[in-house]
Amino acid sequence: MSDYLNHQVNIHDPAFVAHYDELPLWSAYAGALLLRHVPLRRGCVALDIGCGAGFPLLELAQRLGAGSHVYGVDPWEAALDRARAKARQWQVANVTLIPGDAASLPLPNESIDLIVSNLGVNNLADGVAVFAECRRVARPGAVVALTTNLQGHMQEFYTVAFAALESARADHLIPRLQRHIEQRATIPALAAALEAAGFQMTRTAEETAELRFADGSAMLRHWFIKLAFLPAWRDALAGPDMAALFSDIEARLNAHARHAGELRLSIPLAYLEARA
C-alpha cells in the first residue's frame, strides 16, 4: 500500500527540470500573496533569492517593466537554465540569472532596491548569513519582501500522523515528528532575524490556502508531495515499521476523506515586508 515510500528523484536531471512545474500546487499560492503586496516601482533594481526555474522572477521583471532589472540567484543550475529559456521565449530581457549561494552574493554594496523571496526562506542553509548579505546589497530604504508557509501547515496530516504513532505505540518517533514541525517558520522568528540583520519591519499579511485531494492515497502519491514533503516525513518516521506506519496514516486519511467528502490540507501563509 505504501509504494510511494520508494520514490526517488534526481532534481539535477535535465529531463526532470524540463518537466518541472510546481506553480499550480505550491509556489503560486505564496507567489500570488507576494505579487498582491510587493511594492512595484519603475526603474528599480531587484533581486529574487531562490528563484529556481523563474517564478516569481520573470513575472516580477515583467510587472516592473523594461526600465527595471531583476537578478535571480539559486544554486540549482539546471533550474536556472530553464529560467533562461523561459526568458528568451517570453522576451524578458531585464533579468540576470546568477548560480550560487545567497549567503555570498556577487553584487556590490548598496546596489539593490527590492529583495524578494517566495518560499525561499524554507530552504536557506544559513539564514543569518543570507539576511546579512541582503542588508549589505540593500540601498538605504530598500524593501525586503518575503513569503513563507508557517508552522501549522498541513495540520490535518500531522494530526493523523500523531494518532497513528500513538496507536502503534511508537512514542519514540513523536519528538522527531514534533521537531520536524517546529522547523517551519513563524512570523516572530522571521521578523527577529530580519531586524537582527538591520532591517525594520513595516508590515505583514497572512492568509490560509488549501490543498484539496480526493483522499489520502491521492495526496501521498502526488508527484510534488513525493518530491517536497515525503523525504522529510520518511526521515522523521524512519524505522523498521515505517511502511506499516505509513499504511495506517494513509488508511486514516482515507477514512477522514470519506467522512468529510474530500481531504483538505490547510496551508497558513505569510507576507513579511521590511525596509533597510
pLDDT surpassing 70 at residue 1: no
DSSP helix/strand/coil, 247: helix
Largest CA distance in the chain: 61
**Which range, of 80-89, 105-114, 121-130, 157-166, averages the lowest pLDDT?**
121-130
pLDDT of residue 251: 97
pLDDT tens, 21-75?
A: 666 668 899 999 999 999 999 999 999 999 999 999 999 999 999 999 999 999 9
Count Cβ atoms within 10 A of the Cβ of residue 260 and give its class: 0-12 exposed, 13-18 middle, 19 or more buried: exposed
pLDDT of residue 158: 97
pLDDT of residue 2: 75
148 vs 123 pLDDT, higher one? 148
Measuring CA to CA, which residue among 271, 46, 273, 39 is closest to residue 137? 46
pLDDT tens, 168-215?
A: 999 999 999 999 999 899 999 999 999 999 999 999 999 999 999 999
| Mean pLDDT confidence for 114-124 | 90
pLDDT of residue 14: 80
Distances (CA, A) of 45 to 61, 69, 88, 94, 200: 10, 5, 20, 10, 20
Percent of all residues in the chain with a pLDDT value above 70, rounded to a whole number: 98
96 vs 26 pLDDT, higher one? 96
Distance CA 56, CA 30 (A): 10
Provide the CATH topology of domain 3-275: Rossmann fold (3.40.50)
pLDDT surpassing 90 at residue 16: no
Distance CA 76, CA 17 (A): 10
Inter-residue contact 158 to 266 (CB < 8 Å): no
pLDDT of residue 238: 95
Q: Which residues contact 82 (CB under 8 A, 6 or more apart)?
A: 17, 18, 20, 53, 54
Distance CA 91, CA 254 (A): 46
pLDDT of residue 22: 60
Q: pTM (2 decimals)?
A: 0.90
| Mean pLDDT confidence for 75-91 | 94
Percent of all residues in the chain with a pLDDT value above 90, rounded to a whole number: 85
Q: Which residues contact 128 (CB under 8 A, 6 or more apart)?
A: 193, 196, 197
pLDDT tens, 126-160?
A: 889 999 999 999 999 999 999 999 999 999 999 99
